[in-house]
Amino acid sequence: MPVPLEVVGSDLTVLVPGFLWYDVGEPYAVHLDIYTGHSEPITWFFARDLLRTGLREPAGHGDVTIRTDSRERPGHVLITLTGEHSTALMRAQASDIEYFLRQTDDLVLPGTEHEHLDLDTVVGQLLGRPAP
């Protein structure tokens, strides 16, 4: 689902194309593709529950944190992405995030993710075995 994202800086805000997507094969995760003008997007993936919680209260530690932007832009969500050498602060409309989450819920209801996970394949991948 296309999501208008703004990169928020101290003096400047820039609109960048973003795309949230969900794969039933990875039922606990959501993916965020950010298009920066390179041939391939920068892709971040994080817990779907993190995104959901961030709509209500500050959520996350480390690489991805999510919180509402109640001071400057009510109705928006701030997503902080921290990489090895830099940090980016992204802003999106909360209604876009809520709509996306409703779409994922239609595919996999929260609390039923384990029913969509192939544990044999996951364990094999962790052990370095090729997929069946």
45 is written with which tokens? 């993936």
User: What average pLDDT is seen over the chain?
Assistant: 88
pLDDT digits (tens, 9 = 90+) for 5-20: 888 877 777 878 888 9
129 is written with which tokens? 């075995």
132 pLDDT above the threshold of 70: no
What average pLDDT does this structure show over 45-53?
A: 96
Cα angle 13, 17, 18 (rounded to 5 degrees) comes to 105
DSSP 56-93: TS-B--TTEEEEE-TTTSTTEEEEEEE-SS-EEEEEEE
19, 101, 93, 32: CA torsion to nearest 10:
-30
pLDDT digits (tens, 9 = 90+) for 68-106: 987 778 899 999 999 888 888 999 999 999 999 999 999
Q: What is the pLDDT of residue 111?
A: 92
130 is written with which tokens? 């090729």
Q: For CA atoms 18, 94, 83, 8, give the dihedral sign.
A: positive
